[in-house]
Chain A
Amino acid sequence: MSLCMKKIVLYMVLIFTASTLYADVNDNDGKVWLWEEHGVSLKFTQLTPLQSEAFFIGRGFSAENAAVVGSSCMFQGIFRNDGAKTVEYNLTEWKVIQQQNLQSQYSKQILVRNYWDKKWDLLDIPDSPKIAFRWSLIPTQQQFEPEDYNWGMISFGLQPSESFDLDVTLYLNGSKLQTTILAMECAK
């Protein structure tokens, strides 16, 4: 078999044996990571610091506080359940994994609504932008019945350009499903 044929066959086998799909394409100038399985999809699109800052200045944040958000590795998330099972998640169970060196890695939690609520309370942010911020984030916990979905922002708490893997935990009809989305990158 020619080398070219071997590549074609390998490519096809990879496509059709993979139960999950990782995409890395440009969409509105941001890189996209997509995971799909059992009709459930998680789509993460990079938001640049400038895009996040502009959005939150428009919601009433000062430029200084919007910059705090902008530099926290924001993505737009779209979580959908087009499958037949009930899907539940709790973002506090998900892990942001970074490689420190060849031998070691460390993990941290996603910055969820409660984290930001406390931060804004300390900074004495007015209620209106604080409420807009809370509701613009992907819910910390959610239950999706078939056809349900949410859009929202999600903050991984890293610096611009940093890369990481995302450990995801979902519950499908109560059964735990774990996966890792590899090589995600915060926008510059």
Chain B
Amino acid sequence: MSKVRSRVNSAEADGLLIMKVSLLMLSLLIMQLISSPLLAKESGRSGLTKIDGVAPEFELLDFEGETHHLSDYRGEPLIVNFWATWCPPCRAEMPSMQRAWEKIREEGIAMLAINVGENEDMIFPFTAEYPVEFPLLMDLDSKVTQQWKVRGLPTTIVVDPAGRMVYRAVGGREWDSDKILDLVRALK
């Protein structure tokens, strides 16, 4: 009889412990969620980092053979994306860049994507899969990319109308979000 009671008491104690541990887990989970970076991500950050420096001049061909200089874009905000076809996050953000371009193209804001190290033959098949209407320039020897102090792909730099680099994003972003585009619009 005492053995049975002892087992019952033991089972009750285990049950109580499970409940206590579950409550502890739940409270820890809630604390983790409150401090979660995912929530912080939606709390008003723009996703762009302020930087300051003169944007280095360049002369690059687009993949249709036309020459582009940075100075051609003086007087308007410019979004410059550095990318490559083999880079998964570059491919992932390209549709959002096209959607952003559709929003801003009539607003006096320019957008360029500078491919790092690939030629027309490599870029052309990409454009069938990811059609974009803004210029795709080719930095075949990656010298311009290095001059712009890009370390990893994708990196996007926003240049103000005076030719200064003012924002940077390392890694992909949803470029058509108004939170980002409003920062660019404010440069006009």
A interface list, Cβ under 8 A from B: 1-2, 5, 8-9, 12, 16, 39, 55, 58-59, 80, 82-84, 127-128, 131-132, 134-136, 138-142, 144-152
Contact = CB atoms under 8 A, between A and B. Distances in A.
- Residue from B13, B116, B118, B151 having most chain A Cβ neighbours under 10 A: B151
Interface of B: 10, 13-14, 17-18, 21, 24-25, 28, 37-38, 40-41, 45, 47, 49, 84, 86-89, 116-119, 140-142, 145, 151-153, 168-173
A84 to B, nearest CB: 7
Contacts of A151: 87-89
A152 B25 contact: no
Contact of A5 (B14, B49, B170): B14
Contacts of A152: 152
Contacts of B37: 39, 82-84
A135 B84 CA distance: 9
Contact of B38 (A82, A84, A146): A82
B171 to A, nearest CB: 4
Given A128-B117, A150-B170, A151-B89, A134 B142 contact: yes
Interface of B is mostly: mixed
A132 B89 contact: no
A145 B13 contact: no
Given A2-B10, A131-B142, A148 B169 contact: yes
Contacts, number: 95
B118 A132 contact: yes
B45 A146 contact: yes
Nearest to A40: B37
Contact of A147 (B41, B88, B145): B41
A147 B141 contact: no
Contacts of A128: 117-119, 140
Contacts of B116: 131, 135
Interface of A is mostly: mixed
A47 to B, nearest CB: 13
A83 B41 CA distance: 9
Nearest to A152: B152
A136 to B, nearest CB: 7
A55 B86 CA distance: 9
Contacts of B49: 145, 148
Contacts of B142: 131, 134-135
B13 A1 contact: yes
A142 B152 contact: yes
A149 B84 contact: no
